Amino acid sequence: MLFDSHTHLDDEGFDLDRDEVIERAREAGVKYMLNPGADLASSIKGVNLAERYEGLYAAVGVHPHDVKDMDEATMEILKALSQKNKVVAIGEIGLDFYYDHSPRDTQRYWFKRQIQLAREVGLPIIIHERDAHQEVFDILKEARAGELGCVMHCFSGSVELAKEYVKLGMYISLGGPVTFKNARKPQEVAMAVPLDKLLIETDSPYLTPIPFRGKRNEPARVSLVAEKIAELRGLSPETLAQQTTENAKAFFRIG
Digit-coded pLDDT (tens) for 118-176: 999 999 999 999 999 999 999 999 999 999 999 999 999 999 999 999 999 999 999 99
Q: Which helix (DSSP H) or strand (DSSP E) does residue 150 occupy?
A: strand 150-152
Three-state SS annotation for 10-54: CCHHHCCCHHHHHHHHHHCCEEEEEECCCCHHHHHHHHHHHHHCC
pLDDT at res. 58: 98
Structurally, how many domains does the chain consist of? 1
CA angle 5, 221, 236 (to 5 degrees): 85
pTM for the whole thing? 0.97
Digit-coded pLDDT (tens) for 172-189: 999 999 999 999 999 999
Q: What DSSP line would sit under 208-232, residue for residue?
A: PPTTSTTSPP-GGGHHHHHHHHHHH
pLDDT at res. 191: 98
128, 163, 177, 123: which is closest to 145 by C-alpha? 123
Digit-coded pLDDT (tens) for 205-220: 999 999 999 999 999 9
Q: Is the Cα torsion angle 152, 153, 159, 161 positive or negative in sign? A: negative
Q: Is the Cα torsion angle 209, 248, 23, 45 positive or negative in sign? A: negative
DSSP count for the chain of H helices, then E strands = 10, 8
pLDDT at res. 8: 98
Give residue 131's domain range: 2-251
Digit-coded pLDDT (tens) for 59-115: 999 999 999 999 999 999 999 999 999 999 999 999 999 999 999 999 999 999 999
Question: Using 50, 70 and 90 to split pLDDT, how confident is the model at 26?
Answer: very high
Are the beta carbons of 112 and 132 closer than 8 angstroms?
Answer: no
Digit-coded pLDDT (tens) for 236-255: 999 999 999 999 999 999 98
For helices 184-192 and 159-167, the axis angle rounded to 10 degrees is 30
CA angle 218, 85, 146 (to 5 degrees): 75
Residue 60 contacts by C-beta under 8 Å, 6 or more apart in sequence?
Answer: 37, 43, 46, 47, 78, 81, 82, 87, 90, 91
The pairing of beta strand 198-200 with beta strand 171-174: parallel
Q: Which helix (DSSP H) or strand (DSSP E) does residue 246 occupy?
A: helix 237-251
Q: Which amino acid is present at 243?
A: Q
Domain of residue 179, CATH code: 3.20.20.140
pLDDT at res. 239: 98
Q: Is the Cα torsion angle 9, 15, 17, 19 positive or negative in sign? A: positive
